[in-house]
Structure 1
Amino acid sequence: MAFGWIDEQALVRRRAGLVRTLRPRPADSPLLDLASNDYLGLARHPEVTEGAARAARAWGAGATGSRLVTGTTELHAELERELADFCGFEAALVFSSGYAANLAAVTALAPHGSLVVSDAGNHASLIDGCRLARGTTQVVGHADPDAVRKALATHEGPAVAVSDTVFSVDGDAAPLAALAQVCRAYGAGLVVDDAHGLGVLGEGGRGAAREAGLAGADDVVVTVTLSKSLGSQGGAVLGPARVIEHLVNAARTFIFDTGLAPAAAGGALAALTLLRREPERAARARAVAAELHARLTAEGLSAVRPDAAVVSVRAPSPEGAVRWAADCRAAGLAVGCFRPPSVPDGISRLRLTARADLSGVQIERAVRVIGETRP
């Protein structure tokens, strides 16, 4: 039977407690949301939704083509200018998703004969970029600049180190300044994914690279997503103008993909404008994360100290994590549930998102529910 092996894999997943299912949510969900990546609470902000609606009315529902054909509107160009200016880089290039942006940055900057040094805790999109790149990939220990140094020391030719800035599983931050120092000692580039840093870290949420003093450097490339702190959809690559020009001509996920929908670009632009006006949202998201961590650990739970807005709570097993998340949901709280293979160390977790718009009462309620439903 065609695809018979699928049934065998499904059985293995069921036995391991690793079956994943889609759960459509209603527009007016009654759940307290600590599962999404809406760090600044902007996805439903009236200015952001109006920005999206206004763009759709002006430009239509879709981009109508690839960026190099009909998929680049004046709105896309404005968004690229604003992103580059906000984060402190020379230029930016917008993609249809953060995943596509990561694939583009890694594959286009790792030609034949190059070395890609990849952190063991990197997001799947960076890992896939390494797999598709024509260079050789070497995976090194998590957040370990010395391991990066040892890898670069054995290679002659083009090289690039690739890392998340804030790792999505535990919410810990990469040592960006130390990584950049190592890369410069060996003439290597540094590509970092700031999906969980933009809007949370740096002055007014300008990102982890800005916080580390690396914004605008000619050997640093940053990828971001518009679907987390900015409450919209899409992704972008920020860096030197010559790198961005290279991506326009060499990045397959840019050349052959339909452009970002105008509504998403309009929503992201509105969110960026709002963040410029209300920079305190970034500090509030970090403060909520710190309070969640303090309260959870006070309850005797094993929570990882957050460096940004992700708070991770360890679960006893994959099955225990699924049951815990389900019990939280039944009690009115939505939390993330991370299990293998999404976690590189094999340890299952609940993953909580600290949002800038969470009140003290909501934080207290979330901690109470998590504590009362622990396996």
Structure 2
Amino acid sequence: MLNNFQTALDKRNEEGTLRILKPKSDGIDFYSNDYLGFAGSKKLQNILLEKIIANPQLLSGSTGSRLISGNSFVITETENFIAEEHQFPSALLFSSGYNANLALFSTLPNRHDTIIVDEKIHRSVHDACKMSLAKKLKFKHNNVEDLEQVLKKQNGNCYIAIESLYSMDGDIAPIKEIAEIAKKYKASLIVDEAHAFGVFGYGFVEKYRLQNQVLATVITYGKALGTHGAAILCENVVKSYFINFASPFIYTTSAQDIQWMSIKTGYEFLNINKELSIKLQQNIAIFRKQGLKTQSSANSPIQAIVIPDNQKLKALQQNLSDKGFLVYAVFSPTVKEGTERLRICLHSFNTEEEIIKLTKIIKEFT
């Protein structure tokens, strides 16, 4: 069995796509999801530190799952706060976005239902669908017409799964149109706002006032908010259903209260530092003006430069690294073969000089 594992690893190594863990590098950040710079904000760190000093018990372990000993006033207060902020009846917190998606798609659909996913939906949704007994179908990426054609052929309950901002392509879903199609065919829409939250206010569901047209929304906090964890926004009955039937929720030890408190504090910090999202959009505009070829949305912090040549892509990444730029090269199977790309993440703290220098180096290779 070990030989089989080693053979698979050797194959990846030969292809140049072997994943290994590396120490965090020093350099100019164009690869993290810290879009607004919250993770490195001394101001936010000092606010959190003051709260910890005032209440050191925040650092204590939760001691169990939330159904046994792991529930607390802090987590309950945070959930109520999140629900009110997003104008949903309820919110249920999870330790990560991956866990939230596992709970959603392994719990709500049953064996007679159909889950229709955008072909570029996050891997966590695909993994969750394997845990579900429901049928899974795909529709063409961001293609409303294709989604309708798939829906027309279905009987019974259907769930539609999309991201509002896609993490590998950096493009924005036609969420209003998809919500209308879902309503037309009485399908339940689930929206993952992981990369949109914080960058575009509270996300596109809130922006377009679609709270009554979605079954659930996933908000994650490890990106623009600079902390960790996720929330599912939903109706009260859906939250109660998760608490009773969602294995990823029931059988997980709750995180420490410091995690939940940092989420609530992050929201408060976001609301008094709205200029950071404006600065981010200014930086995105500077990047777009440099004329690199990309299919990413014009106002997305994720800009994907497709380079379907593994050796060329690796050489470019290394060249940028040698010059102090931290970027991420994405190979298959993370993305479809032939669509390998340099995934560039822009931030509010990047300078115009850094952006122009970065794009100049990329142009020399493409």
TM-score, with normalisation over the residues of structure 1?
0.91
In structure 2, C-alpha distance between the alignment counterparts of 1:131 and 1:111, rounded to whole Å? 12
Counterpart mapping for 1:82-231 below 5 A: 82-201=81-200, 205-214=201-210, 216-217=211-212, 219-231=214-226
Relative to structure 1, the CA distance from residue 341 to residue 243 in structure 2 (aligned partners, 3 Å threshold; closer, same or farther) is same
- Aligned partner of 2:42 in structure 1 is 46
- Aligned partner of 1:281 in structure 2 is 276
- Aligned partner of 1:366 in structure 2 is 358
Q: 2:163 is aligned with what amino acid?
A: D
State the number of aligned residues.
362
* Larger deviation, residues 324-333 vs 352-361: 352-361
- Aligned partner of 2:305 in structure 1 is 313
Stretches of structure 1 that go unaligned for 5 or more consecutive residues are none
**In the alignment, is the contact (CA less than 8 A) between 2:217 and 2:234 conserved in 1?**
yes
Pick the aligned partner of 1:251 from 246, 252, 263: 246
**In the alignment, is the contact (CA less than 8 A) between 1:52 and 1:265 conserved in 2?**
no
In structure 2, C-alpha distance between the alignment counterparts of 1:232 and 1:35, rounded to whole Å? 17
Stretches of structure 2 that go unaligned for 5 or more consecutive residues are none
**In the alignment, is the contact (CA less than 8 A) between 2:183 and 2:213 conserved in 1?**
no
**In the alignment, is the contact (CA less than 8 A) between 1:35 and 1:335 conserved in 2?**
yes
Q: 2:178 is aligned with what amino acid?
A: L
Shift of 1:318: 2.2
SS of residue matched to 1:25: coil
State yes or no: 1:33 paired with 2:25: no
Pick the aligned partner of 1:329 from 312, 321, 334: 321
**In the alignment, is the contact (CA less than 8 A) between 1:288 and 1:356 conserved in 2?**
yes
Q: 2:207 is aligned with what amino acid?
A: E
**In the alignment, is the contact (CA less than 8 A) between 1:217 and 1:240 conserved in 2?**
no
Kindly provide the CA deviation profile for residues 184-211 of structure 1, in whole angstroms up to 9, marking residues without a partner as x: 111110011110110012xxx1101122
State yes or no: 1:65 paired with 2:64: yes
Q: 2:345 is aligned with what amino acid?
A: T
Relative to structure 1, the CA distance from residue 212 to residue 268 in structure 2 (aligned partners, 3 Å threshold; closer, same or farther) is same
Relative to structure 1, the CA distance from residue 361 to residue 61 in structure 2 (aligned partners, 3 Å threshold; closer, same or farther) is farther
SS of residue matched to 1:76: helix
Kindly provide the CA deviation profile for residues 213-266 of structure 1, in whole angstroms up to 9, marking residues without a partner as x: 31x215431112110010001111112222122111121111111213322222
**In the alignment, is the contact (CA less than 8 A) between 1:94 and 1:260 conserved in 2?**
no
Shift of 1:52: 4.5
**In the alignment, is the contact (CA less than 8 A) between 2:191 and 2:214 conserved in 1?**
no
Kindly provide the CA deviation profile for residues 317-375 of structure 1, in whole angstroms up to 9, marking residues without a partner as x: 12322222122111101011111011135411111111122232332333234345x26
In structure 2, C-alpha distance between the alignment counterparts of 1:155 and 1:251, rounded to whole Å? 26
Relative to structure 1, the CA distance from residue 69 to residue 187 in structure 2 (aligned partners, 3 Å threshold; closer, same or farther) is same
Kindly provide the CA deviation profile for residues 111-153 of structure 1, in whole angstroms up to 9, marking residues without a partner as x: 1200100110111111112222221101111111222222222
Relative to structure 1, the CA distance from residue 317 to residue 211 in structure 2 (aligned partners, 3 Å threshold; closer, same or farther) is same
Query: Any runs of at least 4 consecutive aligned residues in structure 1 with deviations exceeding 6 A, and if so which?
Result: none
Relative to structure 1, the CA distance from residue 316 to residue 278 in structure 2 (aligned partners, 3 Å threshold; closer, same or farther) is same
Q: Percent identity?
A: 25
